[in-house]
Structure 1
């Protein structure tokens, strides 16, 4: 697995990796992470297409999912 690029967004970090003919989008926020895999053969322009995926709608969804993940995790910790 090799890191292609790292991008910081307000609230989280994105690493774009390449492995086994796939691009991996790894979003990290604190102790949480989300990973999305895209097959290179599904893209016409490779990394350029991956970057087009990073629009405001998708990034907002990622942030909302982090909020939900954090709430779910905090709820589980409270039950210990």
Structure 2
């Protein structure tokens, strides 16, 4: 797996990878992560990944992190 780059953001870590004929866009926020896979043939060049990950996409992903965190915290209460 090769790191293509990072997209700086104050609320999460965003790393771009190239692996196995696809690109991976990995978001990390605390203990949670989300990964989006994009086939290499769906983008013309690696720099298109930076266009794909715009602020709207990031905000949608952050909202999903909130939902994931709520769900996980609820499940943790079951075992404690």
* Unmatched segments (≥5 aa) in structure 2: none
Q: Distance in 2 between matches of 1:43 and 1:7?
A: 17
- The count of corresponding residues between Structure 1 and Structure 2 is 79
Structure 1 runs (4+) deviating above 6 angstroms are: none
Shift of residue 56, structure 1, vs aligned partner: 1.7
* Unmatched segments (≥5 aa) in structure 1: none
Superposition RMSD on alpha carbons, in Å?
A: 1.0
For 1:29-40, what aligned pairs fall within 5 Å after superposition? 29-40=29-40
Q: Taking structure 2 as the reference length, what is the TM-score of the superposition? A: 0.92
Q: Taking structure 1 as the reference length, what is the TM-score of the superposition? A: 0.92
